[in-house]
A and B are shown apart, each in its own frame.
Chain A
Amino acid sequence: MERCDGRKKDELRSIHMEVGVLKRADGSAYVEWGANKVFASVYGPREVIPRFLARNDRAVLRCKYNMTPFSVEDRKRPGPDRRSIEIGKVTAGALAPSVLLEKFPNSMIEVAIEIMQADAGTRCAGITAATLALVDAGIPMRDLVPACAAGKVDGQVVLDLCKEEDNSGQADLPIAMMPRTNAVTLLQMDGEMTEEEVEEAIALAQTGCRQVYEMQKAALVSKYGGGDE
């Protein structure tokens, strides 16, 4: 099967990552993923505002996902819509299993993801960037959290749908995971798939996550050194 941009069925789009791109934030990262351009920042651990959200056994993790008005074909009305709020919630669920929240009771860690340009797969690019920003902020984590989607296009399960494939495809299934334990921390799906296709798609998305994981490590090494040399 020929994909619209000539990729193989298990091939990612080209991905570029950079760590520590903003001065004021405690941690930050930039990810280009195909035509997606995404910034992530982390502030904290810091004082919990509003106070009633505070937990005395762990830090509160708040994630905000936002699309800029100019990130899509038709201008998006600024401010949070229902989709953004849901993505913020599932992003927190994707990152929280890895973050050692119990180390910082009565404090708050705030993740912000800003989509500058959207071309299918922004939530995965956002989670991938947010993970790097958390590391850049010095927040202790159990593992990096790469994310990647698989989907069904022309009846075939393929990796990392681009915009045209997302529009014409029959299903999209984004995941995030902690590769050291194979724990899936984000899982969403919409479309139509058989049980067997769901299994194939999750397995394929996991191979995508592993590739993204290596790129995350490389981006951190290029910022902070270390590795084998």
Chain B
Amino acid sequence: MDAVANIKRQFIHELAAAGKRADGRGMLEYRDIKIVPNYLKKADGSAFVELGDTKVIVGVKYDVGTPFPDIPNEGVMTTSAELAPMASPDFESGPPGEDAIELARVVDRGIRESHAIDTAKLCIKPGELVRIVFVDIQILDQDGNLIDACGIAAITALLTAKMRVYDSEGNPTDTVEPLPVRKIPVPCTFAKIAGSLMTDPQVDEESVLDSRLTVTTDDEGYIVAMQKGEYGSFKLEEIMEAVKISKSEGARIREIIKAAVNESD
């Protein structure tokens, strides 16, 4: 590790041990969240989200295809993420690496496990034609906590998404209807630095964190997904503290998402 990185690490660790952060935030204080739903016209649904200086865009497009044989009456959702070189000096072009894959899968898991999309309503012709929903995540500026920024953007984009109504023969009609979204899962990510838990880590904090924990909750306060990341560990009490905070912070962020979507309608 080079000297500058070492000094930064020591600085952030000392602050964290004293319950402080470099940008003056409280340990459990999120940066400002700005959401622009329906940011793009060509996508079927979209959202531009800023979490502090982190900027991400999610576009939702759907296609029509054949269902999986084991769920012939249900549509399909897939999520992918692109860590474009524009967003950080540490990102390189090429096929998604393990960081991009983990990001997409953690966001995907929250949406999937909360059953946010009513996949039965994506079916056009049972066993033959279903809608396949693609959630594509594009990172513009990586200033930390991509999981939460992308999770917020993904569910907002889905909430704004419209899809064409198909007739019983599987032909598209001129009518459009909203994508059937019935839940708003919200991921809350924690960093553990020098034994202290903090929410919404900024990129410098991420670069020196010991471990990371994401807890995704749904509208009813159920925990629908969790993921520990990086090279450290958590005690049971720390995990349960994170779960508790995720429920309240998730509820707060859910209201921000709802307000943004309602305003755009």
A residues near B (Cβ < 8 Å) are 55-57, 82-83, 85-86, 88-90, 92-93, 96-97, 173, 177-178, 181-195, 198-199, 202-203, 206
Q: Which residues of A contact B211 (CB under 8 A)?
A: 93, 97
Contact yes or no, B235 A202, CB < 8 A: no
Contact yes or no, B225 A190, CB < 8 A: yes
Q: Which residues of B contact A88 (CB under 8 A)?
A: 98
Q: Which residues of A contact B233 (CB under 8 A)?
A: 97, 177-178, 181, 183-185
Give the Cβ gap from A19 to chain B, nearest Cβ, in Å.
24
Q: Does B91 contact A (CB under 8 A)?
A: no
Interface centre among B218, B227, B235, B247 (most CB of A within 10 A): B227
| Distance of A192 Cα from B218 Cα, bound (Å) | 9
Q: Does B229 contact A (CB under 8 A)?
A: yes
Contact yes or no, B231 A198, CB < 8 A: no
Q: A90-B229, A184-B233 are in contact. Are A57 and B224 (CB under 8 A)?
A: no
Contact yes or no, A187 B228, CB < 8 A: yes
Give the Cβ gap from B89 to chain A, nearest Cβ, in Å.
14
Q: Does B240 contact A (CB under 8 A)?
A: yes
The contact sample of 14 A-B pairs, CB cut-off 8 A, is A83-B105, A90-B228, A93-B230, A96-B231, A181-B233, A184-B233, A186-B228, A187-B239, A189-B226, A192-B113, A192-B114, A192-B224, A195-B247, A198-B223
Closest chain B residue, CB of each to CB of A193 = B223
Q: Which 3 A-B pairs have the closest CB atoms?
A: A183-B233, A189-B226, A187-B228
Q: A56-B1, A89-B98 are in contact. Are A199 and B236 (CB under 8 A)?
A: yes
| Distance of A85 Cα from B243 Cα, bound (Å) | 26
Q: Does B222 contact A (CB under 8 A)?
A: yes
Q: Does B208 contact A (CB under 8 A)?
A: no
Contact yes or no, B244 A195, CB < 8 A: yes
Closest chain A residue, CB of each to CB of B230 = A93
Q: Which residues of A contact B236 (CB under 8 A)?
A: 182, 184, 199, 202-203, 206
Contact yes or no, A192 B228, CB < 8 A: no
| Distance of A56 Cα from B227 Cα, bound (Å) | 29
Q: Does B107 contact A (CB under 8 A)?
A: no
Q: Which residues of B contact A189 (CB under 8 A)?
A: 223, 225-227
Q: Is the interface of A mostly helix, strand, loop or mixed?
A: mixed
Contact yes or no, B102 A190, CB < 8 A: no
| Distance of A173 Cα from B243 Cα, bound (Å) | 14
Contact yes or no, A184 B228, CB < 8 A: yes
Give the Cβ gap from A102 to chain B, nearest Cβ, in Å.
11
In addition to A89-B102, A198-B243, 15 A-B residue pairs with Cβ atoms within 8 Å of each other are: A82-B105, A83-B105, A86-B105, A90-B229, A183-B234, A183-B235, A184-B233, A184-B239, A187-B213, A189-B226, A192-B218, A194-B221, A194-B223, A195-B240, A198-B223
Contact yes or no, A97 B226, CB < 8 A: no
Q: Which residues of A contact B226 (CB under 8 A)?
A: 173, 187-189, 198
Closest chain B residue, CB of each to CB of A181 = B233
Q: Does B232 contact A (CB under 8 A)?
A: yes
Closest chain B residue, CB of each to CB of A206 = B236
Contact yes or no, B105 A188, CB < 8 A: no
Q: Does B77 contact A (CB under 8 A)?
A: no
Contact yes or no, A93 B234, CB < 8 A: no
Interface set, chain B 30-82, CB cutoff 8 A to A: none
Interface centre among A89, A177, A199 (most CB of B within 10 A): A89
Q: Which of A57, A93, A181 contacts B228 (CB 8 A)?
A: A93
| Distance of A185 Cα from B223 Cα, bound (Å) | 19
| In the complex, per-residue mask of B1-29: 1 if CB is within 8 Å of any chain A CB, else 0 | 10000000000000000000000000000
